[in-house]
Amino acid sequence: MTGHHISTKYELSSAPDVKIIDPLADSRWDQFVENHPFGLICHLSGWKRVLEASFSHMKGHYLVLTNHNNDSIRAALPVYEVKSIITGKRLVSIPFATNCDPLISANEDMKQLLNAAIELSEKLGCSRIEIRALASGQLIQDGRIGSVVFNKTHQLSLEGGPEEIIKKFTRKARWTIKQSAKNGLEFQVAGNEKDVSEFYVLYFKTRKRLGLPPQPYLFFKLLWEIFSPSKHITLLFVRHEGRLVAGLLMFKFKDRCSWDYLALDEMANHLNVSYFGVWEAIKLACSEGYKLFDFGRTGIGNEGLMNFKGRWGTTIMDLPQYYYPKEVCLNLNSPEAATSYKIIKQISKNVPDPVFQLMGKFLYQHLG
């Protein structure tokens, strides 16, 4: 059992074969994630380190099934206890991840893991369980859970290289990319925490303009500190006459490169910086050998962003969210349609920056 760390704090009688491990102390975990076809950066032990250090209201519990013959992990469901007096106490798999399939290969394994998650939620006093997915939908099916789709993801195959990829873009996208190359824009790969700080300043302004409270700087700082040494994260800049006009934070894992956070200077919109930056990011991903470029999560009500991402020859896929008990789904609406969401957006656009910062700090102590 060298290098294995099993928690005995919560005994799960309904699923005796399921154990709770600490991925930060268990040498099996990250290798299991690397080898599993659904494994993503958000499954790695470093993600737990980032979340728990950034958000005091979250605690991860990693449910695993092992092979009896050699004690290797065969299936897993990481869930996070998210505490909030506003949104309720719940289990989420996995907070702030675009998609994060359960690491399973059979429906029977999912049933055992779900049994364990349900018992754990009862012991912790959670009102519901939320599981976010992409590719594992057929393996998740269970009469006890329901599902909703409020988000989509746009994915672009990088087969054939830039010369073939650009042929799949719409005429508008190809023309705009060509025009952007004439605007004196400079593409740059960032390299240190000072760059992260510069990105966050522009990201903060972008979120304020959109009326969306920002995640705390600590979250981005820790993402950089933990994942940049292994090259699982890259920060890309677009500058104009030395001034930062766009920043893209990219996650990289196995054959997949994903754009997860974007910052844009609205005063540079006429320079087509978003098209320039995304195209340069795609070309960089090709040169580094990645096979898939993921444009990240987009709310189904965000028509403008859905249209933008649809111009790049992408395949659009659902990002379902599964809930236990299934009755939870009856009371859910798209976040963009909620009155509270609209009120927060309007307030965010008009409050002073220090108040906006505090709003983000407060709200992200209840989200996940």
- DSSP character string of 212-249: -PPPPHHHHHHHHHHHTTTT-EEEEEEEETTEEEEEEE
Query: 336 with 299: CB under 8 angstroms?
Result: yes
Provide CB contacts within 8 A for 205, sequence distance 6+: 263, 265
CB atoms within 10 A of CB 315: 10
Distance CA 25, CA 5 (A): 6
Tokens of 46: 């470093």
pLDDT recorded at residue 15 = 77
Handedness of CA 287, 285, 44, 119 (dihedral sign): negative
pLDDT recorded at residue 5 = 61
Provide CB contacts within 8 A for 198, sequence distance 6+: 190, 237, 244, 247
Query: 130 with 322: CB under 8 angstroms?
Result: yes
Angle at 33 between CA 31 and CA 38, to 5 degrees: 150
Task: Give the 3-state secondary structure of residue 301.
Answer: coil
pLDDT recorded at residue 331 = 84
Show the DSSP H helices in 235-352 as ranges. 273-287, 303-309, 339-350
Query: 144 with 113: CB under 8 angstroms?
Result: no
Hey, which CATH number is domain 154-317, 3.40.1180.10, 3.40.630.30, 3.20.20.70, 3.40.120.10?
A: 3.40.630.30
pLDDT recorded at residue 2 = 47
Domain-wise residue ranges, the chain: 6-144, 154-317
146-157 and 128-132 strand pairing: unpaired
pLDDT recorded at residue 342 = 78
pLDDT recorded at residue 1 = 42
pLDDT recorded at residue 350 = 85
Q: Is the peptide bond before 94 cis (omega within 30 degrees of 0)?
A: yes
Q: Which helix (H) or strand (E) holds 86?
A: none
Tokens of 284: 């960089």
pLDDT recorded at residue 358 = 87
Q: Give the residue among 27, 20, 19 at the shortest CA–CA distance from 1.
A: 27
List, run by run, the mean pLDDT of 10-residue segments along the chain (368 residues).
Answer: 59 82 96 97 97 95 92 96 87 92 96 96 95 92 94 96 97 98 97 95 95 92 97 97 97 96 96 98 98 95 94 96 94 73 84 88 76
Tokens of 362: 């407060």
Distance CA 92, CA 102 (A): 11
Distance CA 205, CA 187 (A): 21
Tokens of 170: 């719409």
Hey, which CATH number is domain 6-144, 3.40.630.30, 3.20.20.20, 2.60.120.10, 2.40.110.10?
A: 3.40.630.30
Distance CA 276, CA 142 (A): 44
Q: Would 6-144 and 154-317 be classified into the same CATH topology?
A: yes
Whole-angstrom distance between the N-terminal and C-terminal Cα of the chain?
Answer: 33
Tokens of 263: 């910052």
The phi, psi pair for 147, rounded to 5°, reads -140, 155
CB atoms within 10 A of CB 319: 20
Distance CA 176, CA 266 (A): 17
Q: Give the residue among 117, 94, 81 at the shortest CA–CA distance from 38.
A: 94
Bridge partners (DSSP) of residue 261 are: 249
